[in-house]
Amino acid sequence: MTLLELYKSRYGQAVRRQGAGWNGPCPLCGGEPGKSDRFMVWPDRRESNGFSRGHMCIEKDIPGAWHCRRCGQSGDTIAYLLQCEGMSWRDALRELGLDGSSPARRPRRRPAPVEPAATRTAFHPVSWEQPSAKWQEYAGKLVEEGAAALPEQEQAVAWLRRRGLPAEACARYGLGWLAADNPRHAGRFRWRSALGLAPKVVDGREKTKLFIPRGISIPTFDASGHVAAMRIRRPRQDMSGDRRQSKYLALEGGSRAPFLLRSSLPSELAVYFVVEAELDAMLIHHVSGGFIGVLALRSNRTKPDAAAHAALKRAQRICLALDYDEAGAEALPWWFQTYGTCRRWPVPEGKDPGDAASLGVDIRSWIAAGLPPSVALPEAAPVAADRLPGCAVEAGRGECGGISPIPSATSEKDAPAVRPEIPGQEDAYADGDAAGGGGAAPDYAACWKREGGSLDHLPVDELAVVTAALPDYLTPADVPRAVGRAWLLWRELPGLRYARYSPDEFTRPGWGFSGDVRLPGYAQSLYDELLALYDGSYVLRTWLRDHRATVVTARNIFNIWGDYDD
């Protein structure tokens, strides 16, 4: 018999499919059949949670692995018979037909423990301690800094807009962008004492500095309008390719209270949605014009605090829109026992409301469908003109202004020869550093003229050399002078490449020079001159940004549209 057949022979219909495996009660620590899913069986795997197969299963090539996430036990098929079924080694081999004979009788099984019925205890919510005044003052400055910087971050603004949060919503909820001190770094380091935090001992060493990552800043405000907590949504590229790293990092020292946006309805008529992330809460609150209250737990295992519990107890309906992964499924019974007005209300597509909005789901209609008959969304639900307490930006600033699309080549001599923008495609990079800093992009045509126009303004001897390197589809009038000057320097640095890093979800794609930059003195001076030209020329940076190749060298810099076998 296979491991799955052995497990099913004990629990039958209580064994359910989950992904590539099956789950149900645990033969060792119990669980109610039909409801428990703590015990996982993978019939085709060779190991589980670091527990490799034993010698016998390897020698006989017997697949199967199991693991209980509650008691932590795991093993292979023979270990299941020994530990879970209580068989002897000889009986286990006989059960699997490995001793050359079939069992005369089925060995006696160890009975699974009977788990006592859970007794319902009264829920006593906690009241989380507020951060220090010094921490709140510093966090408030971060909110102001981030709110001022966000409109210039086109990729961040576009990402938020796709998730249903336009500029006015970002302003209302205090969203911002925190840049790094250095474009090559993933954040900034600050003295812990600046936030009122004591030194921290890690691995026996005292840490006096605090790391603040770059990314979208998401503040939580208390009733008095002060910042009580802050999380930063990090760019994917800053997680070093390690999927175990969290996309969200909390600013140390903040309150652990969940994120609550109250309903504008009277408490007895109010409807609350419960979600996991703050951005999802902002989306629902914004789309409903504040009509619907929202609680963001930040984790499926988190419980409401005293303030949120008081609001939920009086609400006439609670719609649970949590991520229904393993942790979310385990949390459901508690919610239904604690609040009698709960109902499960997942989004029709995607894993959360923001994801659903990006897939084209009408979030307003989804909200309306979950409301009780006594409540209906207003026909128009504009965002209120005021701003949430503590937001250091004015609401209603309108859509963030993006850069003007780079024009395609025209009959004008000074028009740039870069490929035109593709309709519906977000611009991936504006004037500024590759790490997400910098300001709004200037007018391309004006920069083109200011930086010397086209190639035919180069000295005659340089023009002849550069013209000979152009592809057939470009003339000297099509290429910026700055690009020609860059090529004249770059051709002396054959090991130098301009590489495009993998773009993340919401920040601008990263670009940068790489290659052999440990050069002799004369070459180092050329490299420094090229970098100075790059830093001072918006036209050159735009040309490289819009290049079809992901790695630009002196050999293909002029092949802006490709057609070059590098």
CATH number at residue 194: 3.90.980.10
Domain presence at residue 268: yes
**Residue where one domain finishes, among candidates 351, 369, 387:** 369
Are the CB atoms for 48 and 20 separated by under 8 Å? Answer: no
Predicted pLDDT of residue 311:
94
Pick from 47, 70, 95: which residue ends a domain?
Answer: 95
Smallest CA-to-CA distance from 284 within 201, 353, 193, 382 is with 353
Residue 557, both tokens: 């810099």
pTM (2 d.p.): 0.52
Range of the domain at 161: 133-249
Q: What is the mean pLDDT of residues 371-389?
A: 64
Answer yes or no: do 437 and 290 share one domain: no
For residues 278 and 214, state if they share a domain: no
Q: Is the pLDDT of residue 511 over 70?
A: no
Please indicate, yes or no, if residue 112 is contained in any of the structural domains. no
Looking at the structure, tell me whether residues 145 and 224 fall in a common domain: yes
Same domain? 218 vs 173: yes
Domain count, the chain: 4
- Looking at the fold, whether 225 and 155 belong to one and the same domain comes out as yes
> Are the C-beta atoms of 491 and 555 separated by less than 8 Å?
no
Q: Indicate whether 110 pLDDT > 80.
A: no
Q: Would the pLDDT of 400 be above 60?
A: no
- Name the phi and psi angles at 553, rounded to 5: -130, 180
pLDDT at 119: 53
* 34: CATH: 3.90.580.10
Give CA–CA dist 12/237, Å, rounded: 46
Q: Which amino acid is at 24?
A: G
Q: What is the DSSP letter of 45?
A: -
We report the CATH number of the domain holding residue 334 as 3.40.1360.10
Q: Are residues 271 and 209 in the same domain?
A: no
* pLDDT tens by residue, 432-463: 333 333 344 567 778 888 888 888 778 887 88
CA within 13 Å, CB half, 400: 27
CA distance 342 to 335: 7
Give 254 or 72, the one with higher predicted confidence: 254
In a domain, 396, yes or no: no
Are 413 and 537 part of one and the same domain?
A: yes
pLDDT band, residue 294 (cuts 50/70/90): very high
Answer yes or no: is 119 within a domain. no
- Whether 241 and 324 map to the same domain: the answer is no
Task: Indicate whether 555 belongs to any domain.
Answer: yes
User: CB neighbours of 452 closer than 8 A, spacing ≥ 6?
Assistant: 480, 481, 482
How far is 229 from 498, CA to CA, in rounded Å?
40
Tell whether 209 is covered by a domain.
yes
pLDDT bin (cut points 50, 70, 90) of residue 59 is confident
In a domain? residue 494: yes
List, as one string, the DSSP characters of 449-481.
Answer: HHTT-BGGGS-HHHHHHHHHTS-TT--GGGSBH
Same domain, 207 and 277: no
Of 48, 76, 95, the last residue of a domain is 95
Distance between CA atoms of residues 180 and 209, nearest Å:
15
Residue 202 forms beta bridges with which residues? 205
- The yes-or-no verdict on residue 22 having pLDDT over 80 is yes
Q: Tell me the pLDDT band of 35, cut-offs 50, 70 and 90.
A: confident
pLDDT at 401 over 50: no
Provide the sign of the torsion angle of the four alpha carbons 527, 531, 537, 541, taken in this order. positive
Q: Within this chain, do residues 245 and 263 fall inside the same structural domain, yes or no?
A: no
* Pair (492, 512) in one structural domain: yes
363 belongs to a structural domain: yes
CA nearest 320: which of 352, 287, 289, 288?
A: 352
Residues 245 and 266 in one domain: no
Bridge partners (DSSP) listed for residue 188: 212
DSSP assigned state of 438: -
Average pLDDT over residues 379-383: 56
Q: Which residue in 259, 274, 269, 260 sits closest to 332, CA to CA?
A: 274
